[in-house]
Protein backbone atom coordinates (compact mmCIF):
# COMPACT_ATOMS: atom_id res chain seq x y z
CA UNK A 1 0.00 0.00 0.00
CA UNK A 2 1.42 3.39 -1.02
CA UNK A 3 1.28 6.65 0.83
CA UNK A 4 -1.27 9.38 0.28
CA UNK A 5 -0.24 13.06 0.42
CA UNK A 6 -2.03 16.25 1.39
CA UNK A 7 -0.12 19.20 -0.12
CA UNK A 8 -1.13 22.77 0.74
CA UNK A 9 0.40 26.00 -0.60
CA UNK A 10 -0.80 29.26 0.95
CA UNK A 11 -0.55 33.01 0.95
CA UNK A 12 -1.57 34.35 4.33
CA UNK A 13 -3.52 37.57 4.74
CA UNK A 14 -1.56 40.65 5.80
CA UNK A 15 -1.29 41.02 9.55
CA UNK A 16 -1.74 37.32 10.33
CA UNK A 17 0.48 35.92 13.11
CA UNK A 18 1.87 33.16 10.88
CA UNK A 19 4.27 31.76 13.48
CA UNK A 20 1.40 31.23 15.94
CA UNK A 21 -0.69 29.51 13.27
CA UNK A 22 2.16 27.18 12.38
CA UNK A 23 2.71 26.33 16.06
CA UNK A 24 -0.98 25.48 16.31
CA UNK A 25 -0.78 23.39 13.15
CA UNK A 26 2.23 21.48 14.47
CA UNK A 27 0.41 20.80 17.75
CA UNK A 28 -2.76 19.69 15.95
CA UNK A 29 -0.89 17.33 13.62
CA UNK A 30 1.19 15.87 16.47
CA UNK A 31 -2.00 14.85 18.25
CA UNK A 32 -3.54 12.94 15.33
CA UNK A 33 -2.18 9.42 14.80
CA UNK A 34 -3.50 9.23 11.22
CA UNK A 35 -0.73 11.61 10.10
CA UNK A 36 2.35 9.58 9.15
CA UNK A 37 4.58 12.63 8.62
CA UNK A 38 4.31 16.41 8.45
CA UNK A 39 6.71 18.97 7.06
CA UNK A 40 6.45 22.60 6.11
CA UNK A 41 8.56 25.39 4.74
CA UNK A 42 8.62 29.03 3.75
CA UNK A 43 9.80 30.07 0.30
CA UNK A 44 13.14 31.88 0.38
CA UNK A 45 14.40 31.54 -3.19
CA UNK A 46 11.65 32.02 -5.76
CA UNK A 47 11.13 35.24 -7.66
CA UNK A 48 7.83 36.96 -6.91
CA UNK A 49 6.68 36.37 -10.48
CA UNK A 50 7.03 32.62 -9.96
CA UNK A 51 5.74 32.61 -6.38
CA UNK A 52 2.54 34.51 -7.25
CA UNK A 53 2.21 35.63 -3.64
CA UNK A 54 2.34 32.15 -2.13
CA UNK A 55 4.80 31.92 0.75
CA UNK A 56 4.30 28.69 2.72
CA UNK A 57 3.91 25.02 1.88
CA UNK A 58 2.66 22.19 4.08
CA UNK A 59 2.91 18.47 3.33
CA UNK A 60 1.21 15.72 5.29
CA UNK A 61 1.71 12.07 4.46
CA UNK A 62 -0.71 9.28 5.31
CA UNK A 63 -0.59 5.48 5.04
CA UNK A 64 -3.42 5.59 2.50
CA UNK A 65 -6.51 7.47 1.43
CA UNK A 66 -8.61 6.06 4.27
CA UNK A 67 -6.18 7.48 6.85
CA UNK A 68 -6.43 10.85 5.09
CA UNK A 69 -10.23 10.72 5.19
CA UNK A 70 -10.10 9.91 8.91
CA UNK A 71 -7.78 12.90 9.43
CA UNK A 72 -10.18 15.22 7.59
CA UNK A 73 -13.03 14.18 9.88
CA UNK A 74 -10.96 14.27 13.09
CA UNK A 75 -12.40 16.82 15.57
CA UNK A 76 -8.99 18.48 16.13
CA UNK A 77 -8.58 19.03 12.38
CA UNK A 78 -12.11 20.36 12.00
CA UNK A 79 -11.59 22.77 14.91
CA UNK A 80 -8.20 23.98 13.66
CA UNK A 81 -9.56 24.52 10.14
CA UNK A 82 -11.88 27.12 11.64
CA UNK A 83 -8.82 29.07 12.80
CA UNK A 84 -6.54 28.41 9.81
CA UNK A 85 -8.95 29.05 6.93
CA UNK A 86 -9.85 32.68 7.79
CA UNK A 87 -6.11 33.56 7.83
CA UNK A 88 -5.61 32.52 4.20
CA UNK A 89 -5.76 34.90 1.26
CA UNK A 90 -4.97 32.31 -1.43
CA UNK A 91 -4.59 28.54 -1.30
CA UNK A 92 -3.80 25.57 -3.51
CA UNK A 93 -4.58 22.08 -2.19
CA UNK A 94 -3.53 18.84 -3.87
CA UNK A 95 -4.38 15.40 -2.48
CA UNK A 96 -2.70 12.51 -4.25
CA UNK A 97 -1.26 9.00 -3.92
CA UNK A 98 2.53 8.92 -4.13
CA UNK A 99 4.45 7.58 -7.10
CA UNK A 100 7.88 7.07 -5.57
CA UNK A 101 10.67 7.11 -8.14
CA UNK A 102 13.71 7.32 -5.88
CA UNK A 103 13.58 6.52 -2.17
CA UNK A 104 15.40 8.76 0.31
CA UNK A 105 18.94 7.60 1.06
Domain coordinates of the chain in residue numbers?
A: 4-96
Residues 6+ apart with CB under 8 A from 68: 4, 6, 34, 62, 95
The answer to whether 3 touches 61, Cβ cutoff 8 Å, is: yes
The domain defined by 4-96 folds into: Alpha-Beta Plaits (3.30.70)
Q: What is the mean pLDDT of the chain?
A: 94
Separation CA 30–CA 34 (nearest Å): 10
- The whole-number pLDDT of residue 71 equals 97
Residue 33: other Cβ atoms inside 10 A: 10
- The whole-number pLDDT of residue 79 equals 96
Q: Is the pLDDT of residue 99 over 90?
A: no
Give the confidence band of 104 by pLDDT, cuts at 50, 70, 90.
confident
Q: Is the pLDDT of residue 1 over 60?
A: no
The candidate with the shortest Cα–Cα distance to 31, out of 80, 65, 91, is: 80
Segment 49-63 mean pLDDT? 93
Longest dimension (CA), the chain: 42
- The whole-number pLDDT of residue 49 equals 80
Q: Is the pLDDT of residue 86 over 80?
A: yes
Segment 100-105 mean pLDDT? 81
- The whole-number pLDDT of residue 2 equals 80
Higher-pLDDT residue of 1 and 94 is: 94
Amino acid sequence: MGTFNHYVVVKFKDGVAVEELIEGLEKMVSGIDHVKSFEWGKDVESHEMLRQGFTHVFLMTFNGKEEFKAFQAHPNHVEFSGIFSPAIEKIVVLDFPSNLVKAPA
